[in-house]
A and B are shown apart, each in its own frame.
Chain A
Amino acid sequence: MSPRRLSALLACALIALALGGCGRGADERTVGSVTERFLQAVEAKDGAVACAQLTSAAVQQLESEESKPCPQAVTSVQASPGPVRRTAVYITSAKVDLTNGESAFLNRTSAGWKLSAVGCKPQAGKPADQPYDCDLEA
């Protein structure tokens, strides 16, 4: 390993200690894309693609609530499509805010970033103190 590469790795490790990880920008882009892909698939009634963006726990929750397979049940999820306004990634958890005021929550699973809650709106009071009210939540 060259001294320059070693220095870059060390610098990255130090910055990562403070900021929570190298490559966070790539994660932020990914969580935004996963959310947009889900919302577009729901709008286009493409259940297979929409279900592929959910965590296995969210799929189970949806199938249990709707008593139908995920690809059929997912099209009934009340999540309005809208452009991504802001993404926030913290270690293996992420939140995506849409311009329409709704939010989605994601977790980094073994299969990559997946949605664990969609169609979420803040409840009355301080959002940091109360869970969001979500249409689908694992």
Chain B
Amino acid sequence: MRRFLYENGLGLFFGAIFLATVIGQAFVGHADFNHLQAADQNAPVSLGRYVTSSDFAADVLENWQSEYLQFSLYIFGTVWLLQRGSPESKKPGEAGPGSDEDQQLGPHAHERSPAWAGVGGFRQWTYSNSLIIVMTSIWIASWTGQAIAGRVAYNAEQIDNREAPLNLLSYVGSSDFWDRTLQNWQSEFLAVGSMAVLAIYLRQRGSPESKPVGAAHDVTGEEG
């Protein structure tokens, strides 16, 4: 058990703090929602009703979609784009998908390689891109969910303001949808871009996201 915790600490830690924070968000979001309900002379809703409401879903999904977009772009971008001096980047001259030998594909696969790395064709292509396929699919699903749930939450406000509700297509073209979307995107892009650049000059001893503390600033693609 202790060994399992030690070997899986990263996934378990972030899984645990995800659950803690999403539960926390449910409780404070519920309190905030009912505060606004009281102001509008609407009945308070139960916690169960709140966590299955579009109000909660839109708040959750607008953040999920931007995180999955960020990592999808980062995974794809780091295949082709370089950043001199950054541990997040491959070395100059290594841009691109790499050779079959480097990637341990086909005849270069070994006995412990995943099965689809050793076969050719569609299965090998799919497995070679499986990380970005899944991350992008989650991004598209959560962004779609944001649009569907965000429209319902927006229309509730529209009706409280005695204004006409929007259909899904109109909502996707609305300033509310793009405001929710872009305010999340800009923060994600800033964070990931600044990490790639700051890691040229700054270090965190022991972290694979950093170069070794003593590494030169112009050394690229070296992790500490």
A-to-B contact residues, CB < 8 Å: 12-13, 16-22, 55-57, 88, 90-95, 105, 107-110, 116-117, 120, 122, 126-132, 134, 137-138
Residue B145 at the chain A interface, CB threshold 8 Å: yes
Contact B163 A91 (CB under 8 A): no
Q: Cβ of B40: which chain A residues have Cβ within 8 Å of it?
A: 107
Among A22, A92, A126, A127, contact of B156 (Cβ-Cβ < 8 Å): A92
- Given A20-B54, A22-B52, the answer on whether A129 and B163 have CB atoms closer than 8 Å is yes
How many contacts between A and B, using CB within 8 angstroms?
Answer: 99
Closest residue of chain B to A22 (Cβ to Cβ) is B52
Instruction: Write out the residue numbers on chain B whose beta carbons fall within 8 Å of the beta carbon of A132.
Output: 162-164
Q: Which of B41-49, B74-82, B207-215 contacts A (4 or more CB under 8 A)?
A: B41-49
Give 8 CB contacts A-B under 8 Å.
A20-B152, A90-B152, A90-B156, A90-B158, A91-B152, A92-B37, A107-B42, A132-B164
CB distance from B88 to the nearest CB of A (A): 34
Q: Is B165 touching A90 in the complex (CB atoms < 8 A)?
A: yes
Number of interface residues, chain B, beta carbon within 8 A:
32
- Among A21, A91, A134, the residue within 8 A (CB) of B162 is A134
- Least CB separation from A24: chain B residue: B152
Tell me the nearest residue of chain B to A116, going by C-beta. Answer: B41
Contact A92 B45 (CB under 8 A): yes
* Chain A residues whose CB sits within 8 angstroms of the CB of B164 once the complex forms: 95, 122, 126-128, 132
- Are B162 and A137 in contact (CB-based, < 8 A)? yes
Contact among A21, A105, A109, A131 for B54, CB-based, below 8 A? A21
